[in-house]
Amino acid sequence: MTAHADPSAAIVVIGDEVLSGRVNDINSLFLCRRLHDLGVAVRRVVVVPDEVALIARDVADCAAGYTHVITSGGVGPTHDDVTMQGVAAAFAMGMRRHPVAERAIRDFYGSDMAEAALRMADVPDGAELILSPEMRFPVVRVRNVWVFPGSPHLLRKKFDMVAGRFASTPYRTATLALNTGEPEIAPFLGDVQRRFPDVAIGSYPQEPGATVRLVITLKGKDPERVAACHRELAAGLGRWLAPEGTGGAA
């Protein structure tokens, strides 16, 4: 509901196995949390099938609309791994076998390497490869698009390798735990939100059985403003404040 300070990010998850519900995508949750902690606003997550044209469409759309794009999945050597082709198509690039990636793959597999392994060295011809001593394979970046593997443990390692490049002014957050329903406080909340357009106020009813009925969240980049907004909410909502009370900027 509020203006977001730059930088922004979009996540493109590639995988039929996510869309069929066979695999629970834990990568986008990890990336949303880590990017939030780095002060980056994730504004879009999209899950698409293993199809070049569909990947290309969303990667192009996201690359034009957000500061950073991170893709997850579709980077192996089999027929259903088409993310590199999708990213190349998004930027109307060709593909090339990258000598640095080829060497890393040959070193890893050794003399009994199956030739198809080298398919993983084929990248968009505008790709930059980022090497690190801790990782066998380089991180692949094409303009503002970072191509990460679908394997959660590899994705985390690779993200940590380059996370410093995303760091921005951190968010200041705060919460209020309330024992009320939403309708009773909706007009007041809306009024405070209008006066604090630079602080995002969220209202989240808790599932039955939770210790409080409603959690109000605040998030912004200016600590003074978040604290001022939090004080105003706490004053106006005091009669419903749960014993858990307030957290964060109070």
Interaction residues for a copy of itself, span 203-232 (CB under 8 A): 203-205, 207-208, 217, 219
Among 110, 133, 164, 187, binds a copy of itself (CB under 8 A): 187
Binding status of residue 193 toward a copy of itself by CB under 8 A: yes
DSSP secondary structure code for residue 168 in this structure:
-
Distance (Å, rounded) from C-alpha 52 to C-alpha 68?
Answer: 20
Please state the φ and ψ torsions of residue 103, each to the nearest 5 degrees: -65, -40
Smallest distance from the beta carbon of 211 to a copy of itself, in angstroms? 17
Residue 1 touches a copy of itself, criterion: CB under 8 A: yes
Which helix (H) or strand (E) covers residue 46, if one does? Answer: strand 41-48
Residue 28 phi/psi, 5-degree rounding, is: -70, -35
162: which 2 tokens? 């380059």
Q: Which of residues 39-98 bind a copy of itself (CB under 8 A)?
A: 41-51, 76-82
16 phi and psi angles, rounded to 5 deg: -55, -30
For a copy of itself, which is the closer residue by CB, 34 or 126? Answer: 34
Q: By the criterion CB under 8 A, which residues form the site for a copy of itself? A: 1, 16-25, 28-36, 41-51, 76-82, 109, 113-117, 119, 151-153, 181-187, 189-190, 193, 200-205, 207-208, 217, 219
